[in-house]
Every structure is written in C-alpha cells, then in structure tokens.
Amino acid sequence: MRIMTKRKFDGITIFLFLLPALILFIGILVAPLVTSGYYSFFEWKGFGDSTFIGIDNYKVLFKTFTHKNAEVPFLWAARNALILALCSLLIQLPISLGLALLLGKGFKGERFFLSVNFLPVLISTVVIGQLWKKIYYPDGGLLNTILRKVGYLKADQPDITWLAEKGADGKSYLLGSVIVPMLWQYVGYHMLLMYAGVKSVPPELREAAKIDGATDWQVDRFIVIPSMKQIIKVSVIFSVTGSLKSYDLVAILGTNKTRVAAVPSTLLMDQMTAWGRYGMGSAIAVLLIIMCFFFAILIGELFKDREKV
C-alpha cells in the first residue's frame, strides 16, 4: 500500500491527468453556466450594448400562467414539461419495466425482442419526427385514414388536425400528439437499462423463492424489483430530466413558436434565434438548470428515504 499512496510529483501527475477533462468541463459547462446567470440580468441582443435590468427577465417569465396572453409563456412550458415527465413515469417506465421483467426471465426470442424494442432509440429523432408528422397529417395521413376505416370518423366529419395549434373544433391535440412518439421512442432505452437490472438478480434467489411457492408475479414484486432499485432510480432521473430538457420532437411536430405545446427549450431557442433576446434566453436556461437539479436531487432523496424504511 505504501507504494500506492505517495509518489514524487503526484500533484503534477494528478493535474496533468485531469487537465483535458477539466478544460472541457470548465470551458463548456461551468463557465457558460456562470455567464448565463450573468446575462440573465441584462437586456441584450447578443451584440453591442447591454442594459442591466435586474430581475425583470424573470418577472416576465413568472408573470402569468397561461400561454394565451403571456409574453413568454414559461410557466405554461414548465407545466408541459412536467406533464411529459408524469406521462413518462406513469406510462413509459411501467411498459419498460414490464418488458424488462418478461424478457429477463428468459423469454423465447429474448434477443430478438430486445433488439427490436431498442431500435427506436437508435433512429434519429429527426427521422422519427418526420415519420410521425406524416402519421398525423390530415388529408390522407395514416392516423386519420385508420380512424375513418374503423368508423370513428364519419364521412362528413373533417380530419382531425393533430398538430394544429388550434384545431377546427377549438381544441388542440398538439401536446398529446408530441408526447406519444416521445414516450414511444425511449421505452426501449429504459427497457434495456432495467433488463440489465433484472439480469443481475442471481438466478438462485429466483429459484429459491419459487421453491417456497412464490408465483412469478410475487418473485418479480418482492425479489426482482427491490433489487433493481438503483437502476430504477437512474431510469426515473433520466426520464424526468429528459422530459424537462425535451426539445426535438416538440420543435419538429410543432415549431419553436408553439405556445400550446411549448417546453422550456423551445422558448429558449425562440427567444434566442427569432427574437435575439439573449438575456431572456439566458434566464430560461438558468431556470431550466435549476429545475433539472431540483428534480434530480428530489428523486435521489425519495429513493434514499425508501431505503431506510
């Protein structure tokens, strides 16, 4: 052990080994975080003079809840992101868990189903977005055609405009239409994470429980799932922070300008690229980071408490 603990020039060695990572980390993560915080107190177009306006940017973001009259509907976007997170927790993760439990048991065709279910994770989100755009399309899109074939839509009824900000019937399905492919795409990701957890349960444990007369469901409920707690925690954190930072499918199926289905990132991009309001964009970025940290820590704590009980 003596040999391990101290060597000459260790300080320099440590520094040199950490250097590349530190440069990347501080240059691209830490420094921008700090500057974002700084910019968020200014009104600034990204070039030229900037005006210090205190917390006015934040005041605008927190002014009203609805998306209708808000200058920047941030609270509404945060609500949408949380709805997305909730759907992910209540719909996506249970499906993933179910698939993982089934496949982990040594289901026939285990590998085939594993591969197929993981497939959507590898397809570019842009491609998936374009495909779903055509699925949702009115006038001959897949979904409307199916709805007509099964008789849900009558001949005299117009197609449902799934992706409209405000449809003919005054309702908007945009948020729901965005959530479905989002959930679908990453079921496979969480399935594979959880499958790893299922597989790491020692088979003897499973057999022992079965000998004691446990049903398959009881084995899953009392042995497999509790021993997967670490991985489920990771999945929950990924799915919640992933929902908070979602952008691609909202921007492709809607636009950066969407209000009904806005998420914090579309607002950020809209403020930055369309309006050139870099201060406001920075304020959104700061709030986005705070939300991500808040939920990551909260989830960590929730799982910790359970461990004690």
Closer to other proteins by Cβ: residue 66 or 200: 200
Q: Work out how close the CB of 274 gets to other proteins at its nearest, in angstroms, rounded to a whole number.
A: 12
Nearer to other proteins, 62 or 107 (CB): 107
SS (H, E, C) 221-239: HHHHHHHCHHHHHHHHHHH
Measured CA to CA, the distance from residue 118 to residue 195 in angstroms comes to 11
**Neighbouring residues of 181: CB distance < 8 A, sequence distance ≥ 6:** 128, 129, 132, 249, 253
* Cα end-to-end span (Å), the chain: 38
Residue 153 vs 269, nearer CB to other proteins? 269
**Between vectors from CA 252 to CA 246 and to CA 253, what angle results, nearest 5°?**
95
The answer to whether 233 touches 300, Cβ cutoff 8 Å, is yes
Q: Cβ of residue 215: shortest distance to other proteins, in angstroms?
A: 8
- State the nearest-atom distance from the C-beta of 173 to other proteins, in Å: 19
Compute the least distance from the CB of residue 69 to other proteins, in Å.
Answer: 26
Please compute Rg for the chain using Cα positions: 24
Nearer to other proteins by C-beta: 40 or 172?
40
For other proteins, give the closer residue by CB, 66 or 126.
126
CA distance 33 to 17: 24
Which residue, 169 or 207, is less far from other proteins as judged by CB?
Answer: 207
- Least Cβ distance, residue 64 to other proteins (angstroms): 24
DSSP H/E element including 94? helix 93-104
Are 52 and 41 in contact, with CB atoms under 8 Å apart? yes
CA atoms within a 13 Å half-sphere pointing along the CA-CB vector of 140: 0
Task: Report in angstroms how near the CB of residue 240 gets to other proteins at its nearest.
Answer: 10
φ, ψ (nearest 5 deg) of residue 202: -60, 130
Minimum CB distance to other proteins, residue 91 (Å): 13
Burial class (CB in 10 A: 0-12, 13-18, 19+), 245: middle
Residue among 14 and 86 whose Cβ is closer to other proteins: 14
3-class DSSP assignment, residue 290: helix
Q: Which is nearer to other proteins, 83 or 269 (CB)?
A: 269
Q: Shortest Cβ distance from residue 170 to other proteins (Å)?
A: 26
Nearest to 88 by CA among 217, 179, 213: 179
